[in-house]
Chains A and B, each alone.
Chain A
Amino acid sequence: MTHGTRTENLLITFLVILAGIIMLFPVGILTIMGVGFGMENPEVFREILSDRALTLLTRTITHACLVAISATVMGLICGLAVWNIKGIPATWSLYTILVLILIPSYIHAQSWIFLVDRINETFTGYDFNGFYASWFVLVMAYLPYVIGLTLIGLYSMDKELIENGKLYGGPLRVAASTIIPQCYSLLVTAFNIVFILNLVDYTIPSLFGIRVYPMQIYARFSAEPNPGLAFIDSLPLLIIGGSILYLTYKKALSFSIDMHGWGDKRAGNDLEFSNSFMFNGLMIIGIVVLLFQIFVPVINLVIEADSMTALIQSRTELMHTLTASFLAAITGTILALGLSEAMVKSHAMRRIVSPVLMFTYIMPAPLIGIGLNIFGRIIGDAISNSIVIIALAGIIRFLPIATALMYVQYIALDSSVLDAGRLFMSNYLEYQFKVKMPLLAGGLMGSAGILFALTAGELGATLMVAPPGKGTLTIKIFNYLHYGASGTVASLCLALFVIIMIPGIGFAVRKLMGQSKTE
C-alpha cells in the first residue's frame, strides 16, 4: 500500500487522535478509577466471584454463546440460500438484507412478541418468555448481520475451487469441504460480533425477564453510584470478551488476505446445486426464515399499531433519535475511515489501534455510559447537555465494528488505482471525492448504516447520558414496554422502522436502476 500525501497523513493523524480522545478518555478514566478502587478495596474482587455473580455470569455466557452459534449457523444457511437465488430476486434479497441490518434488535423483538401473543391466543398454554424466547428473538434480530457477512464471503470465493470441489461430491460436501472453510474467517467474525454484543448488553434479555450480568452492573451502580466499583464489576465480562476476541482475532483478520481475490474470480449465483434433496431442503428453510425475517416485523407492527397519536406525541424523541444516530453515523464513519487507513498503512499503528478497539468493543454498555458521564462533566454542558453526548455513546460502542468493516473494504482495494488517482487528479479534494470515496463506497455505506442502526437502538449507555428533555425513542419504547402499552410501542417501532427503511429502499432502488441501465 502506498504512502499518502502529506495532507492525507496529517488528516489521518488528526482522525486517529480524535478517535483516541473520544474512545480512550471516558474508558480510560473509568479504568484508572477502577484500578484505584480495587487496590484500596481488594475485598471487592471476592464479590465478583460470589455464587450469585457466578450464576449470572454463567447464564450470560451461555445465553450469548447459544445466540451467537445459532445465528451463525442459521445465517450461513440463509446466506447460502440467497447466494443460490438467481436474477432480480437475488438482487432484491441482497438489498432487503441490507435494509434488515438497519432495524434495531428491539423492533425485531417486539414484532416476534406480538406474533407469539397472537399464537398464544389461538394455542393457549404456550408462553413466549424466558431464556428460550430471548434466545430466539436475538437470533432473528442478529441474523441479517450474519447473512450479510456470509454473503461477503460467498461472493468473494474463488469459483474454480467450488467447481473442483463439485467433482468430489454433492453440494453438502462442497459446502463442508470448500465453502465453509473459505468463509470460515467471516463466520468467526460474525460469531464474535453477535457474541460480544450479547455479552455486554441486557436490553432484550430483560424484556423477557432474563437477568444477565450487565443488568447487575447497572443495578449495582444505580444502588451504589461508584464508577470504580462498576469497573470492577465489569471485569469478568472484559476478561471473557477479551479472551474470545484474542483467540479469534487472527482468524477474523485472515479474511483480509482472501479479500484481495474479490472481483475477477468472484463466485456468483450461477452454480448449480439443484439435485440434492438435503441441500435443497436446507435452502428452502433458509428462504422461509428470511421471508419471516422480512414480513413478521412489518405485518405485526402494522396490525398492532393503534394510532398516529403516539407518533405525533413522540416527534421530539424521534427527532433526537434520528439526530443522534445520523451524527454518530457521519462522525463515526469519518473516524472509522481514518482509523482503518492508519491500520492499513502502518503495522505499528495496527498494533496500537486494534487492542484499543477491542477493549472498547467489549466494554459493557452501562460502563460506557458511566465513563461518558464523567467525561461529560469535564468537557462541559455544551456537549454533555446536548444530543451530541448520545451520539458519542453510539460512536464509542460501535466504532470498532464500523472500523472493522472499513478495514476489510480498504484492504480489498487495488492500491495502484489509488496511486493513479493521486497522480491524475488536480487537487487533494478531487482525489478524495472522485477516486477514493467512490472506491470505498461499500465500506462507507456499511459503516454508516451499522452506526446509524445500532445507535438508534442503543439503550444501556444512552440511558445514563441522555440530558433532560433529550430522551430517545428507544428509552420511551422501553418505558412503555414495561407498562405493557403494546399499541403505542408498535406505533413507535413502526415509525422508526419506516424511517430507517427510507434510505435503505432509496439505496436499493438506485442500485437496481443502475443495474438495469447497465444491462
Chain B
Amino acid sequence: MSIKSSMIMVILSFVMIVSTSCSSEKEQIVIYTSVDQVFSEPILKAFQDETGIEVLAVYDVEASKSTGLANRLVAEKDSPRADVYWSGEFVQTMMLKDEGVLAGYHSPNAEDIPVYAKDAEGFWTAFGGRARVLLVNTDLMDIQDYPSSLTDLLDDRYPGAEMGLAYPLFGTTSNHVAALYSVWGREQALAFFKALVHKDVAVVDGNSVVRDMVADGRLHMGLTDTDDALGAVRDGAPVELVFLDQEEDGLGTLVVPNTVSLIQGGPNPENGQQLIDYLLSAETEKVLSEIGWFEISLRNNGHMESQLLDGLAAMAVSYEDVYRQLEISSADMREVFLR
C-alpha cells in the first residue's frame, strides 16, 4: 500500500463521514414510527417533497413493534431526539403520555375526528384503523371448520401447532391482549393465553410472519391485522379473513387505530406540528388507505373504506379501558411467553 493510496483512503473516509453526518442547514424533523416502513416511508417522503423539511425517521422492526420505540422514547425523555411519534397502535402512546414523554397539540386537521379518538389535552390523536382478524388457509381448512370465536381456538379440534400469533407483548397483539383483559377480566384472559401456550401454539416475530406462515401453509390459521391479511389476499394466497365473535351480542373484533403525538422538548416542535397536521389530513388518510395500511376511517362515523369490512362488529371497549389493563397484561404476558 503506497502513501498515495493511504492518503486517498483517509480523505475518502473523511468526505464520506462529513457528507453523511453534516446533513445540511436544511430544516429537519425527527420522527419515530412503528408503522411499517413500506407504508410510512412514502408518506414521509411526500411530506419532505411538499414542505422542503428534511425528515429523519427511525423505523421499527417487526419483532418489537411499538414497544421497542416507545421504550427508546422513554429512555431519551431527558434529552429528546424525536419530534413526533407515529404509532400503529394506541396503548404504548397512552403509556408515553403517562411517562411525560408527550406534549399537547390540537391539530386543526383533527376537528372532524370524533372526541373519543382524541386526548382531551391533545397529547395524542387517533386516526385510521386496522382490525384484528383470523387468517385461515383455505387449502388446509374447510369453511365449516372455521372457528367463529376466539375461545374456539382452545378447542381440541384445533391443534396448537397449526395456529399462530405474534408475540403478545408488542404492537397490535399487545393491544388485543389488553382489550381482552378489559372485557373478560384478568382471570379469564390469563387462563386463555396460558391455555394457548399449553397447546404449544406457534408464537412468531410479528403479524406479517403469521400472514406468511398461513399463506405458505405452514400454519392452518393465525391471528393478525387486516393490513397483513389483505396483503396476502392481494398476493393471491389461498387465504380467507375470518372476523371472530361477530354474532349478535358477541365480543366483536378489536379495531386498532394509528396514533400520532408531539414529543415534549423535541428539537423541532414547529416542524413537528406541521407533520402532525399532514398526517392527520383527510388526504393523507386516503392515501394510507389506498396503499393498504388501514381500511377503516375514524371520520364519518367509522366509514369502512373496504367493502370487505362493511358491517364489521367492533369490540365495545374504550381506549382508556384497554390502556388501564396494559401494565398488568404486559407483566402477565412476559411471564407466560418470555420466561
Contacts and interface: CB of A to CB of B under 8 A. Distances in A.
Interface of A: 47, 50, 52-53, 127, 129-130, 206, 209, 211, 215-216, 218-220, 222-225, 313, 319-320, 322-323, 326-327, 330, 385-388, 429, 433-434, 437-438, 441, 444, 463, 466-471, 475-476, 478-480, 482-485, 488
Contact of B170 (A47, A223, A482): A223
B71 A225 contact: yes
Interface stretch (B11-19, B107-115, B152-160, B250-258): B11-19
B61 A444 contact: no
B30 A222 contact: no
A319 B231 CA distance: 31
A478 B59 CA distance: 11
Interface string B42-61: 00010000000011111101
Given A222-B170, A466-B58, A468-B32, A483 B208 contact: yes
Nearest to A48: B339
B20 to A, nearest CB: 5
A313 B283 CA distance: 23
B218 A130 contact: yes
Given A209-B209, A479-B37, 19 more contacts: A129-B218, A206-B63, A215-B205, A218-B64, A222-B169, A225-B71, A313-B41, A319-B16, A326-B13, A326-B16, A433-B3, A467-B58, A468-B30, A469-B28, A469-B54, A470-B20, A475-B59, A479-B36, A479-B62
B16 A323 contact: yes
27 contacts: A209-B212, A209-B218, A215-B205, A219-B64, A219-B169, A223-B169, A223-B330, A225-B71, A225-B74, A323-B16, A326-B16, A327-B13, A327-B16, A387-B17, A388-B17, A429-B3, A468-B82, A469-B58, A470-B56, A471-B59, A475-B59, A479-B36, A480-B38, A482-B36, A483-B36, A484-B235, A485-B38
A479 B23 CA distance: 24
The 6 residue pairs across chains A and B that have the minimum distance between CB atoms: A469-B56, A222-B64, A222-B68, A468-B56, A479-B37, A437-B1
A326 B61 contact: no
A424 B38 CA distance: 61
Nearest to B217: A127
Contacts of B57: 468-469, 471
B1 A433 contact: yes
Interface of A is mostly: helix
Nearest to B74: A225
A206 B64 CA distance: 13
B2 interface: yes
A127 B212 CA distance: 12
A219 B63 contact: yes
B37 A476 contact: yes
B270 interface: no
A319 B67 CA distance: 29
A513 to B, nearest CB: 17
Nearest to A333: B9
Contacts of B2: 433-434
A50 B17 contact: no
A438 B205 contact: no
B282 interface: no
B205 A211 contact: yes
Interface of B: 1-3, 6, 9-10, 12-13, 16-17, 19-21, 23, 28, 30-32, 36-38, 41, 45, 54-59, 61-64, 67-68, 71, 74-75, 81-82, 167, 169-170, 203-206, 208-209, 212-213, 216-218, 231, 235, 330, 334, 338-339
Nearest to B23: A469
A482 B62 contact: yes
B59 A206 contact: no
A81 B48 CA distance: 54
Contacts of A437: 1, 6
A76 B217 CA distance: 37
A385 B20 CA distance: 11
Nearest to B71: A225
B87 to A, nearest CB: 14
Contacts of B82: 468
A327 B38 contact: no
Contacts of A326: 12-13, 16
Contact of A52 (B30, B204, B339): B339
Nearest to A445: B1
A323 B17 CA distance: 6
B218 A127 contact: yes
Contacts of A206: 63, 205
B276 to A, nearest CB: 17
A222 B71 CA distance: 7
Contacts of B36: 479, 482-483
B338 A223 contact: yes
B12 A387 contact: no
Contacts of A47: 339
B9 A330 contact: yes
Nearest to A51: B339
B62 A216 contact: no
A225 B334 CA distance: 13
A469 B30 contact: yes
Contacts of A129: 216, 218
A224 B1 contact: no
A224 B334 contact: yes
